[in-house]
Homo-oligomer: A and B are copies of this chain.
Amino acid sequence: MKTNNARKAQCPVFQDMTLEEREQVLALFENEHYPAGETILREGLSIQILWIIVAGRCEVLKSFNGAPERSLAVLEQGAVFGEMSFFNPAPHSASVRALTDVEVIRLSRERYDELLSRNPAAAYKVAANTASVLAERLRKMDDWTCQLLDGPDVNAKKREEWHDFRAKLYTEWDF
């Protein structure tokens, strides 16, 4: 399946990069193909890979207390996954499975570290773009949860727990 770099470059991971930086970063990605039904990323594993869907669709699945996996979301062409563990290693909280035949490009942490020594300005942009999207998500999730917790649907005890949790979350930079 042929894909072109112009299409891949629209992904926000590559935002603010010069054409040269984009080419250099894209050259470090590997192409992979998965048939429909195959698991690409397994919940609980700690692997540091950044994935971008070039063609096809994937499903995000999570198991809950031993019950069968539940579908959480569908990832379309252009979607990125693995970005949280890429900068903060931790077991993946969900699996990703190919819904259709899927073509992805993937960047391993090892290759990213090569980029870091060869072209730190380009590596910087991947990190800054990820920090930006994570800040945006955190802000939105915080708004959503604050609205719920300050609304009539939740009792006062939970509200207090939320405010304690949140105060701790934002004031401690624990790694």
Contacts and interface: CB of A to CB of B under 8 A. Distances in A.
Interface of A: 11-13, 15, 60, 64, 72-76, 78-80, 83-85, 87-88, 90, 93, 116, 120-121, 123-124, 127-128, 130-142, 144-145, 148, 150, 153-155, 158, 162-163, 165-171, 173-175
A141 B142 contact: yes
Copy total for this chain:
2
14 contacts: A12-B175, A64-B150, A79-B173, A83-B135, A84-B135, A87-B132, A88-B136, A88-B139, A120-B120, A128-B131, A133-B175, A134-B138, A136-B174, A141-B142
Contacts of A148: 154, 158, 162
- A-B pairs with lowest CB-CB distance, top 8: A73-B167, A88-B135, A134-B134, A131-B131, A87-B131, A120-B120, A127-B127, A120-B121
A91 to B, nearest CB: 10
Contacts of A133: 88, 173, 175
A174 B15 CA distance: 11
Contacts of A153: 154-155, 158
B120 A166 contact: no
A155 B15 CA distance: 40
A158 B87 CA distance: 31
Nearest to A73: B167
Contacts of A88: 131-133, 135-136, 139
Contacts of A75: 171
A167 to B, nearest CB: 4
Given A123-B124, A153-B158, A137 B80 contact: no
A154 B147 CA distance: 13
